[in-house]
Amino acid sequence: MRIAIGQLAQETNTFNPLPTTWQDFEEFGVLRGVDLVEKMAQTNELGGFIQTLRSWPEAVEIVGLLRLFAWPSGPATCQTFERLRSAVVSSLQQAGRLDGVLLALHGSMVADEHPDVEGEILEAVRAAIGPSVPLVATLDLHANVTQKMIRHADALVVFHTIPHIDVFETGCRAATLLRRMLDGARPTMAWRKIPLVLPVERANTGDPASVSYHFREELQALEKQPGTLAAGLLSVQPWLDIPELGSSVIVVTENDLPRATSLAADLANRLWQRRNDYMPDLVPVAEAVAEAARCQEAGLVALGDGADSTNSGAPGDGTWVLRELLKHRWPRGALATMVAPEVVADAQRIGVGSIRTGPVGGVRDHRFSKPIDLTAKVLRLFDAKFVLNGHIARNLAIDMGPSAVLQSGDVFLIVTSRSGPHFAPELFLAAGFDPYTASVLVAKSPCGFRFAYQGRAAKIISLQSPGCAAPDFWNYDFRNIPRPLWPWDQDENLFRESLDGDLQELNR
């Protein structure tokens, strides 16, 4: 038995002016063939595929296609998209006869002139393998599901958690579903598109007080029921200015489309009814930082800077929070991060112990932020390399390039050359700090950072600030999204009107 595995994943933020190029994929590490299988055997969705396939009773030849992964950023260029699609198709053509294909996708990748990258990739894969070879793909729960994606995949298997701590397990679930197909199961998939986009800040599936917690429990219980192959709720990446934007529900049953359709419609209806439970409680930056200064004696205060979240595709060099941190005293230190290769180059040039005076930030994100002048000592130079575990990762190697620590009073600014997980405890540790003993730290993340800090921080505050990934996204200039769409449009009849249309479904 020959099963092919591969990955194409990048979460796009169309408000980020920085284009995603082939170099972004190369810097993260393009893997092919046996190299992919060996190096990704314990990592994320690919690791879940591999370990599950290896547990099958008969010998399975795992055919490595391509691992193409880039950190969230702006839309890919047309040239990059064409190269990605060509590389995926070429790897399939070279693979020979296949009994099944497992793909790890994100689901919210956009390229110039190609708003539905995953839909076009799945279309190209289906054309390459033919109609009879089973094709199962995994998706982040912030995927934007489209008609093309539904049409060309036999089944789509979705993360259940935010923070995303089930990426490996999602790969296992997808491989198990493929096995059931090879044993004769016929998947029937119902898809419900819902005219809403949900903020991320209150979507914590690990918090019993969150509505997402209960949806997660329900989806996991549903997948354990006989005859159910997969179930997912996708609240979508909000910062996509594209024509098919919207949340979705997917249910895959074993040859029981009426049941799949009924379950999907019920889940969609209840998500619509609970939409206001996702609206975040946000605190303006100056007020939040002042509050952190007042209560720091109780322990660490973690500030969630969703607007400049590198996990959400923001450029990562916003200065709004840094400006406020510099106005206060932090006896145990304030930790902030920034993507600024030009600042790292300056620090390397003048050396450790030297004083750098000049602008920082507001270069990559020049629309929503602006540089500030900072006089700071170059405290440390280091390479931001570590292995990420927790939100979005299991055993995921990260390399954010040459980096520097700048010190201005008791504010420590960790500056990296490349984007990455600017919330991660591993980043702060690599820079020489124990994040849990600081007075305050800034996590560039809307929700996922809570997995690392929820039980360790005395207080967590979600910030309201300008940026490419602002939590109040409905106030931004979207021009291509379908309307009406909640929360831009508040009409209570939006969902009722959509129910009057046809339920999108696939019966393969």
- Within a 10 A sphere around the Cβ of 370, how many other Cβ atoms? 15
pLDDT at 406: 98
Q: Which tokens belong to 424?
A: 């991660």
- Check: CB of residue 6 under 8 Å from CB of residue 63: no
pLDDT tier for residue 502 given thresholds of 50, 70 and 90: very low
Q: How far is CA 186 from CA 177, 181, 229, in A?
A: 10, 6, 10
Does the pLDDT at position 338 exceed 90? yes
Does the pLDDT at position 492 exceed 80? no
- Check: CB of residue 305 under 8 Å from CB of residue 339: no
How far is CA 145 from its chain centroid? 15
One-letter amino acid for residue 334 of the chain: A
Q: Which tokens belong to 469?
A: 């990934």
From 486, 490, 497, 448, select the one nearest 195 (Cα to Cα): 486
pLDDT at 498: 53
* Mean pLDDT over the full length of the chain: 96
This prediction's pTM: 0.96
DSSP 53: H
Q: How far is CA 406 from CA 84, 100, 347, in A?
A: 38, 51, 8
pLDDT, average across residues 461-471: 96
- Check: CB of residue 104 under 8 Å from CB of residue 138: yes
Query: Rg (Cα) of the chain, in Å, rounded?
Result: 23
Q: Which tokens belong to 182?
A: 């090879």
Domain ranges for the chain, please list them: 2-278+501-507, 283-470
Angle of CA points 240, 241, 245, to nearest 5°: 70
35-61 as b/e: b if 16+ CB within 10 A: ebbebbeebbbbbbbbebbeeeeeebe
- Within a 10 A sphere around the Cβ of 22, how many other Cβ atoms? 18
How does DSSP assign 250-310, residue by residue?
A: EEEEES-HHHHHHHHHHHHHHHHHTGGGG----EEHHHHHHHHHHSGGGS-EEEE-GGG-G
How far apart (Å, rounded) are the C-alpha atoms in residues 264 and 256? 12
Does the pLDDT at position 500 exceed 70? no
pLDDT at 495: 73
pLDDT tier for residue 496 given thresholds of 50, 70 and 90: low
Residue 437 burial by CB count (10 A; 0-12/13-18/19+): exposed, middle or buried?
exposed
How far apart (Å, rounded) are the C-alpha atoms in residues 106 and 80? 17
Backbone angle region of 358, left / alpha / beta, with phi > 0 → left and psi within -120 to 50 → alpha: left
pLDDT more than 70, % of the chain: 97
DSSP 381: E
- 133: Cβ contacts below 8 Å, ≥ 6 apart: 98, 99, 100, 101
Residue 62's H or E segment, with its range, is: strand 61-69
The torsion angles phi and psi of 414, rounded to 5 degrees, stand at -95, 115
pLDDT in tens, 315-328: 999 999 999 999 99
- Coil vs helix vs strand at 367: coil
Question: For helices 211-223 and 257-273, what crossing angle results, to 10°?
Answer: 170
pLDDT, average across residues 36-44: 98
- 388: Cβ contacts below 8 Å, ≥ 6 apart: 396, 397, 398, 421, 424, 426
Does the pLDDT at position 186 exceed 50? yes
- Check: CB of residue 405 under 8 Å from CB of residue 269: no
Q: How far is CA 229 from CA 81, 172, 186, 188, 340, in A?
A: 32, 13, 10, 9, 45
Q: Which tokens belong to 242?
A: 């594209």
How far apart (Å, rounded) are the C-alpha atoms in residues 482 and 469? 19
pLDDT at 29: 95
Q: Which tokens belong to 410?
A: 């008791």
Does the pLDDT at position 507 exceed 80? no
- Coil vs helix vs strand at 225: coil
Beta bridge partners of 193: 248
If one compares 278 and 494, the residue with the highest pLDDT of the two is: 278
pLDDT in tens, 132-167: 999 999 999 999 999 999 999 999 999 999 999 999
